[in-house]
Structures are given as structure tokens and as C-alpha cells.
Amino acid sequence: MLAVGLVFLCYCSLRAQDQDYPIQPKPFSEVQIQDNFWAPRIKTNHEVTIPIAIAQSEETGRIDNFKIAAGRQEGSFCSIYPFDDSDIFKIIEAASYSLQTFPDPKLEAQVDSLIDYMAAAQEEDGYLYTNRTIGGKLHPWAGNERWELVHELSHELYNVGHMYEAAAAHYQATGKRNLLDIAIKNADLLVEEFGPEGIRNYPGHEEVEIGLVRLYRVTKDERYLKLAQFFLDIRGQEGVGNPKKYDQSHKPVIEQREAVGHAVRGAYLWTGMADIAAITGNKDYMKAIDAIWHDIVDTKYYINGGIGATGSGEAFGDAYELPNMSAYCETCAGVGNAKWNHRMFLMTGDSKFIDVLERTMYNNIMDGVSLSGDRFFYPNPLASYGQHERQAWFGCACCPPNVARFLPEMPGYIYAQREGSIYVNLYVSSATSFNLPEGELRLQQESEFPWEGNVHIRVKNDNPMSAEIRLRVPGYVQNQPVPSDLYEYTSAENGPFTVQVNGAKMHYTIDKQGYIAINRSWTDGDTIEIDFPMEVQVVKAHPKVEADAGRIAFERGPILYCAEWADNPDEKVLSLIVDPKQDFNLEKTDKLGGIYQIKGKARQASRMLDGSITVSGEQDLQLIPYHLWNNRGPGEMTVWMATNQEVVTPEPAPTIARRAKVSSSKEAKSIIALNDQMLPEHSNDHSIAYHHWWPNKDQEEWVAFDFDRKEAVSKVKIYWFDDGPNGGCRIPASWKVQYKKGKKWKPVKNQSPYTATKDAWDEVNFKPVKTEALRVLVQLPKEYAAGLYEVVIE
């Protein structure tokens, strides 16, 4: 129980002496959860995700890097990126949390041996960055000298930010100083080197600010706090670094009002600003992050709780730019957004921040990991042809360890306290206790959230005591899915609900901060019962969100739904048209670990050979919770369902290309794009699927179409993908068509020239051939790859 004591002491001493968040979270280590949703996932995280994260790090050289830097092993830097060190720090942070819930000597010993390598790898003066410490050829991002490219991509400060977080977590969990001492020595070096009198530069990827504040909270060393603030304030100053929106260094942070650039970087920056604002009372920081929060929630927030619309720069898009199939919604950005919103709540006590936290964690973050705990999404799209699939690991492996550290900490988001006020923010079966002036007040919460809306809270205490219990009323209960007009419910309003104290209905009001406050003297055995409505809700997006025009989504409580291939006729869902005015039913089922699914009717749209669209009769429609899609293999999925023919993606017409079996010189799921009859608006349209050969260049590639019978063909039309000037694909250097004769490929006799055009169709007519297969040979440009959206064969 040492761990619990330490955590408690830490918060207490802070409150006694220092300014910090006016509301204190109830740490996860003091909350025992017993529900059927989170508890099993947190257990799987411990039993599966954390062990495989360690195993994957062994396999991919991430751990060897530390061993080599420590001189325990021969070799050179053996993973891909200089930020790979950060994954190990995040895994230690995750393990430290998880060990507090699941004592596990084997895992603790593994963590200790990792820390042992780190201690030996740390340079004399505290520097730790395996890519440089190992010596030999440096990664081009590292820079020739220490800190030289710190504002670009070296990630020297990013890495150690994660180390400080891990060190604070490990110390609080185990009471051991082994990692804490490494972190302190490293932070002391930063204090010496950076600052108004030293190196005036900022990290290209924010994170060190959060880490330094955590180190400050543990050590009380104010130099760390000052350095964190320095890193924030130097950002965007004239003549410093390389100002750009990508990493939010385009202007001083206190002048920023919009969410721009890399979404994970942004979320970590704003989290760090909230921390410093809490401790120093800096109002300018709050003003900036409040405006940025509104910019996101008003115009850049996905219904699945994700942020970051575009894979290009892993970044925020423009206002209302929220494409579905190409949505980025990186899992890390979800974790960052959840942490930031939790801090905004701790600062203000406003439940709207918990609305965002709750939506993001139930949908975006939980989508990031499979039910089995060993497969991960990096981007979390809202529609798929089947080209998306969770992966066992990634070259850039930031996301899996981020989920691994989020999950064990999740119970820490349920409750909070501000002096005599107790916040019940999330409805999750759990038990905890609070220290009040008159003694200890224990709460036992029972609920079937997120599947049912009834909540039962029992008070346990030794002597009667007065306290205010603040019950959060989620936005969705008040018919407001998000705290803005970005989304709205179109279905029947959630009716009024009841709150009972000791069995007697109480007259309540919901205060401005979104809570029902019950202020009374509590006696052992007192009960509170709430019965939140849990209607199936039909959602529509703000008319400015083009991607969702004419479409609806479905929610119930905090859970977003989607239609997935496995539950629907012919495994098709993108071509379905749904009448929003019908009655939708709910069914409890054992599938996917036990869920409630939504049932209704839909009709399927198909394109005919003449281009017209026909719509089938009614068929059954089944929807599952969005975060559980892709647990039964890849296939079609959509969150936003078409309500009419104008916006639906019809089943493609049975053309020659459609009926053909498509293959490519590069095996990839994206070849389904080639005959899906989804046509781009231009050559850099990321809203639909495309197939590409990146990172290959200056070589020949091909796509082939094997027909189901001999076809007479005389024309091929192609639309090329070209994501210049920033991307790696251009229209090809040249291309040609071949047909199969016997077992051989023969060139067709073209009667018009082969052209390669950006933003338009290229068409070649050739002397008719009767053949079983056609092939398109593509010569890649000297310095670039190529790609294509669609091939039409006539």
C-alpha cells in the first residue's frame, strides 16, 4: 500500500503549500472499478497489451538501442526513428500504473532491468538520447550536435518529456528512485543548458512541458516549472527556431486562438499550458487554450471524439473539414485530447470538458485497440471499404503505448474533489473514498453504463457529515451531443429523468456547470439513484460539414454506433440508404463481448451500366458500437449513413473492370479502389480510396485485371493520383496497356497517344482485342512514386 500513500502525500503536500488545479482528481490508485466495460479492458491491457508492447520493442531494436548505448551490447542504432526511445518510457509509465492495480513481480523486474539499461546509457552529464549516445552514423533528424535540431525533428526534448512522466509514475507506484534519479539528472542538464541565458529554443514536438511539470510536482524543484514555462514562452518568438504552424511555433502561444498543425503536438502543448496556468495562475494561457478549445469543439471535432482531419502532416484541417474515410483521428491525439480536457475541467469545474473527455475515450481511444488487446489503429477513420485494419505494431509506434498508459489511469477520471464538494463525473461501477473535514466519506457506485442509464450510489461513513455531491449531467442527456452546434440530435428528445435520495424523488436543477448538486448531511447507508434516459439518438452534423451532408449517425448515451459488414446483408453498408424517421430498436447480444446493437431497416443503392441508380426493397440494418468495428476482420464500415440517393455511395455497376479480379505489383488492400467507381474531384483528393507505389520510384510497376470471361476491349481510361508538391506521388513518367494472349502479355496497338495528366482522365483507344486479362504498365518518375484512383475498361 506504499504506492497509494505516496500518491496521496504528493497531492496533499501540494495543496497545502502550492497553487495548483482548484479541483483535485481522485487518483486511479484510490478508485476500485468493478464494471463490465472498463475493468475487462484494463485487465487485458495488463495481461496482453503491455507484455506485447515490451516484446515488440525487443523485436524492433528499441530496447537494444538502450543496451548498446549502455555498452552492454555491440552494435549501432537499430530502430527506425530517433524518437523510438520515447516508446520505452511510455511503456514504463503504463506498467507503473498497471502494477498498482495488478501486482506483478515479473513485470516489475522487467521494468527495473529497462531502467538499469537507461542508467548505464545516460551520459556523464545527464544526457540521454540513444541515437547520439551510441555514436556512429546519426539519424538525419538528430543534427550533428546536441540540441541543434531540437526545434525540428530531433525529438531530444520530446523523448525526455516522456521519461519524466514515466519517472514520476514509477516513483509514485513503487517508491523506487531508480528512474526518478535518471530523470532529475537529465532535467538538471536541461536547466543548465536552456533558458533566457542559455539556449533559446523550443521543442519541435511538445511533451517536455508536461513532463517537467510532473517532475516539479514530485520534487518541488521550481527550476523545472520555470523551464517548462520557458519552453512555452519561447515558442513563436521572433528569430527563434523555425516558426511554422505544423508545430504551433507560428506565433507566441498566448497569441494563438486556433487549432492548427500536428494534432498530437497541439494537444500536448495545450495540456502543458493548462498545467502551467493552474500552478502559476497565468490567465493569458487560459485565454488562448479556451479559444483553441472552442475552435476545435465548434468546427474541428469528429463525432467519434477524434481530432486531426488529415494524414498530411497528421494535422487539423480547416473549420468543418471533417472527411470520414480519410479521417486521421490519431489514437495519440485522442489520448492527448482526453488529458487536456480533464485538465480544463480541473481548472474550471465545467462538465462540458468531461463531455469531450467521455466521448473521446469511449469512442476514439477505445477504437485504437482491439478487444483482444494486441492489434492497434493509428488513424481511426469513420468509413472504410475494408482498406483499414488494426496492426500488430507500427514502425512509428507512438499509439499502442499511449493506449497502454491511458487505460490503467482511466479510473482516475471518474471522481474529483474541491474541498467539501465531490464530483461524480463518469458513471462507472466503482468504489472510492474522500477525506472531508468531518472524516472519511466513501462512495459505492453501481451502474450498467454505458448500456443502461440507471445509476445507484451508496454513501458509507462512520459518522454523519455534510458534503456536496455533484452529479454530472452528460450533454447527451440534455440533447446536446457536443458542447457546440457542430452536431445535433434530430430524433425524439431525451425526456426528463429522476433523481432520488433515499428513495424520495428530489426536485433538482442543473447548474450552469452541468451538475446536479446535492448538499446535505450524509449518513451511512444513504443512497442516490439517477435514471438517465438512454434513447437511440439520430445525429446530424452542422450544414457546413460537407462530408456529412445528407447523412446521419447513431448514438446512445456515450456510445457512437456504426454499420459494419459482418452484421449486414451481402457485407455491404456504404451503399445503404436509411430513412431517419423510422423506429429503431435495441437488442442486447453476446457478440463482441456483450453489447447493445441498434436495429432498423435500410435499402441498398446500386449503379446500373447506364449510370442510373436503382434502390432495393427494405432489408435489415444492424449497427454496432463504433469502437468495436474491425474486430472481425476488415470490410465495409460507416458511421455516417446516407439518407438519400444524392449522397449515397452506390454499389458499383457490373462493368468489365468491376467484374475483374484486380492485382498489383504492390500487394495492398487499396487495389479495391481501382474499380470501385468512386471518382476523385482532383488528383490530390484524399476523401476516397486510391492505390499507390510509394516509396518506390524510377521503376516499372503494374496493375492487372483478370476477367471472368473473354472480353472484347478497345479503350482504357485512368485517373492518376498526384499529391505534389508535398507528397511522394506524381503522375507517371509513362504508361502502356498490355493484353494477355495465351500465357504472354502483348502490347495493345494504340490508336491514340498515351497521355499522363494531372486532375483529369487519360484515355487510350486501341485496336480491339478479345482477351482474358489486361495489364497497365506504369513507369514511375525518377524521383517519385505514382498512384491511381480508377481504371475504366471498355
Question: What is the binding site for Zn ion (CB under 5 A)?
Answer: 330, 332, 398-399
**Residue 366, exposed/middle/buried by CB under 10 A (0-12, 13-18, 19+)?**
buried
What's the rounded Cα separation, in Å, for the pair 443 and 432? 6
Q: Shortest Cβ distance from residue 574 to Zn ion (Å)?
A: 27
Q: Shortest Cβ distance from residue 335 to Zn ion (Å)?
A: 8
Q: Shortest Cβ distance from residue 53 to Zn ion (Å)?
A: 13
Residue 549, beta-bridge partner list: none
| Cell triple for 497 | 429523468
What type of residue sits at position 150? V
179 vs 398 by CB, closer to Zn ion: 398
Residues 6+ apart with CB under 8 A from 455: 427, 445, 446, 447, 449, 528, 529, 530, 531, 532
Q: What are residue 710's phi and psi, to 5 degrees?
A: -65, 135
Q: Shortest Cβ distance from residue 87 to Zn ion (Å)?
A: 10
Q: Is the peptide bond before 753 cis (omega within 30 degrees of 0)?
A: no
Residue matched to cell numbers 502550492: 18
Residue nearest to Zn ion (CB): 332
What type of residue sits at position 483? P
Q: What is the DSSP letter of 72?
A: S
Q: Shortest Cβ distance from residue 93 to Zn ion (Å)?
A: 15
> Is the four-CA dihedral 70, 76, 81, 87 of positive or negative sign?
negative
388 vs 658 by CB, closer to Zn ion: 388
The closest alpha carbon to 688, from 378, 326, 379, 386, belongs to 326
What's the rounded Cα separation, in Å, for the pair 369 and 726? 30
153 vs 776 by CB, closer to Zn ion: 153
150 vs 332 by CB, closer to Zn ion: 332
Residues 6+ apart with CB under 8 A from 737: 716, 747, 748, 750, 764, 766, 774, 775, 776, 777
26 vs 390 by CB, closer to Zn ion: 390
93 vs 526 by CB, closer to Zn ion: 93
Q: Shortest Cβ distance from residue 296 to Zn ion (Å)?
A: 18
| Cell triple for 200 | 533559446
What's the rounded Cα separation, in Å, for the pair 304 and 281? 33
Q: Shortest Cβ distance from residue 209 to Zn ion (Å)?
A: 18
What's the rounded Cα separation, in Å, for the pair 20 and 399? 29
Residue 438, CB-side half-sphere exposure with 13 Å CA sphere: 14
Rg (CA), the chain: 28
SS3 791: strand
253 vs 399 by CB, closer to Zn ion: 399
Q: Shortest Cβ distance from residue 161 to Zn ion (Å)?
A: 15
CB 231, CB 209: distance < 8 Å = yes
Q: Shortest Cβ distance from residue 773 to Zn ion (Å)?
A: 41
Q: Shortest Cβ distance from residue 339 to Zn ion (Å)?
A: 14
The closest alpha carbon to 218, from 165, 296, 260, belongs to 165
206 vs 330 by CB, closer to Zn ion: 330
Q: Shortest Cβ distance from residue 253 to Zn ion (Å)?
A: 22
Q: Shortest Cβ distance from residue 368 to Zn ion (Å)?
A: 9
- How many residues are there in the chain? 794
Q: Shortest Cβ distance from residue 381 to Zn ion (Å)?
A: 15
Q: Shortest Cβ distance from residue 292 to Zn ion (Å)?
A: 20
288 vs 397 by CB, closer to Zn ion: 397
126 vs 368 by CB, closer to Zn ion: 368
The closest alpha carbon to 596, from 620, 573, 615, 624, belongs to 624
279 vs 399 by CB, closer to Zn ion: 399
Residue 308, CB-side half-sphere exposure with 13 Å CA sphere: 29
Q: At what angle do helices 156-174 and 208-219 cross, to 10 degrees?
A: 30
What's the rounded Cα separation, in Å, for the pair 30 and 47? 21
User: What number of other Cβ atoms are within 10 A of residue 41's Cβ?
Assistant: 18
201 vs 380 by CB, closer to Zn ion: 380
Q: Shortest Cβ distance from residue 263 to Zn ion (Å)?
A: 10
The continuous run of DSSP H or E covering 192 comes out as: helix 178-193
336 vs 408 by CB, closer to Zn ion: 336
67 vs 627 by CB, closer to Zn ion: 627
169 vs 404 by CB, closer to Zn ion: 404
What type of residue sits at position 340? W
What's the N-to-C CA distance of the chain in angstroms?
Answer: 74
Q: Shortest Cβ distance from residue 403 to Zn ion (Å)?
A: 9
β-pair type (559-564, 551-556):
antiparallel
83 vs 320 by CB, closer to Zn ion: 83
Q: What is the DSSP letter of 441?
A: E
210 vs 227 by CB, closer to Zn ion: 210
Q: What are residue 14's phi and psi, to 5 degrees?
A: -65, -45
Q: Shortest Cβ distance from residue 331 to Zn ion (Å)?
A: 6
Residues 6+ apart with CB under 8 A from 106: none
CA 214, 405, 212: angle at the middle one, nearest 5? 15
